[in-house]
Amino acid sequence: MFPLSSPGQGHLAMLAFSLLVSLSFFFGHFIAKDIAPGALMTLRFGLAAFVLWVLLRVLGVTPVLTRFWRYLLIGGCMAIYFITMFEALALTSAVSTAAVFTLTPLLAAGFSLLLLRQTTSAWVLSALLIGAAGAIWVIFRADINALLRFEIGPGEAIFMIGTLAHAAVPVALRKLCNDVTPLQSSFGNSIGALVVTTIYAAPELLDTSFATLPARVWWVTAYLAIVTTAGTFLLLQFASQRLPGSKVMAYTYLVPSWVVMWEVLSLSRWPAAAIFWGIAGTILALLMLLRGAARE
């Protein structure tokens, strides 16, 4: 096997990231009405923090919780993202929600420019705009009249807030967590997210009857905590140290395609044919970004 370069490792990490995140949309759609989003996220971040703490102990790594405000900031952004995702999944489809998520790279490029002074080439900017156009086509369900009237559903509007928060994470990680390892950062960010979600979801936690929750809520929570919280925190931190923010989040363009694949394989549910034009646009954007990375 040929050794991967540092950027190559970042790209491989984000490929895994997109696959794991797509499953969170797919699974989350099944339990979105079974438990309040805030209560679910508190369980998720609590379990994720515990798993990461155990991993730190096993590896003999000391947790670093100095400047805890940075973990509250980054964890808070992740909490906003996950809570709004599950609010949205109760109101709209997994494919449409995943399409909103693909606006992240363009937003991440904006944050990178403002906070890190990372400029974006004309090629990368073109790819981001093509990907955003493809995402918007899916968000408006391939309805040109709805697009012209800007008829965006409440689920998509709610998740747009979470997507904006998520887009700030790669830049914040690179700017604030460059003195800690990905594992230490992931643990700190999980604790920060747990604090934020516990405060936000206190009323929901008191009203939730955990003993009567369906079994699917628990196994989805376990997946979300172990894989798409602890796992993706690690992957995102790892990739953020090797790639610019816009390229880190470029792999979100694959998420709607993964979600469609899961729905076709497990439910034999095909989206409207016109939706595939939007998905094709997001895949084209990813290929353009990868070609740009290869040139560099």
Cα separations (Å) of 285 from 76, 154, 271, 275? 29, 27, 21, 16
Domain assignment present for 124: yes
Instruction: Please give the Cα distance from 75 to 196 (Å, whole number).
Output: 8
For residue 49, being part of any structural domain is answered with yes
CB 186 within 8 A of CB 233: yes
Decide if 251 is inside a domain: yes
pLDDT of residue 29: 78
Q: Is residue 1 part of a domain?
A: no
* Alpha-carbon gap, residue 289 to 11, rounded angstroms: 11
Coil/strand/helix, residue 294 = helix
| 10 vs 83: CA distance, rounded Å | 27
Here the tokens at position 82 are 């996950």
pLDDT value for 22 = 82
Rounded-to-integer distance, Cα 213 and Cα 294, Å: 48
Q: Place 121 in a pLDDT band, splitting at 50, 70 and 90.
A: confident
Average pLDDT over residues 71-98: 85
CA atoms of 81 and 167, how far apart (whole Å): 9
Handedness of CA 37, 40, 46, 47 (dihedral sign): negative
- Positive or negative: CA dihedral 196, 198, 199, 205: positive
Kindly tell me the burial class for residue 80, based on how many C-beta atoms sit within 10 Å of its own C-beta (0-12, 13-18, 19 or more): buried
Query: 156 lies in which domain range?
Result: 6-295
Radius of gyration of the chain (CA): 18
Asked if pLDDT for residue 3 goes beyond 80, the answer is no
**What is the end-to-end Cα distance of the chain in Å, rounded?**
23
Alpha carbon distance 290, 288 (integer Å): 5
What's the average model confidence in pLDDT over 228-245? 77
pTM score of the predicted model: 0.75
pLDDT of residue 48: 87
Phi and psi, residue 11, nearest 5° = -65, -40
Residue 1 pLDDT class (50, 70, 90 cuts):
very low
The number of distinct structural domains making up the chain is 1
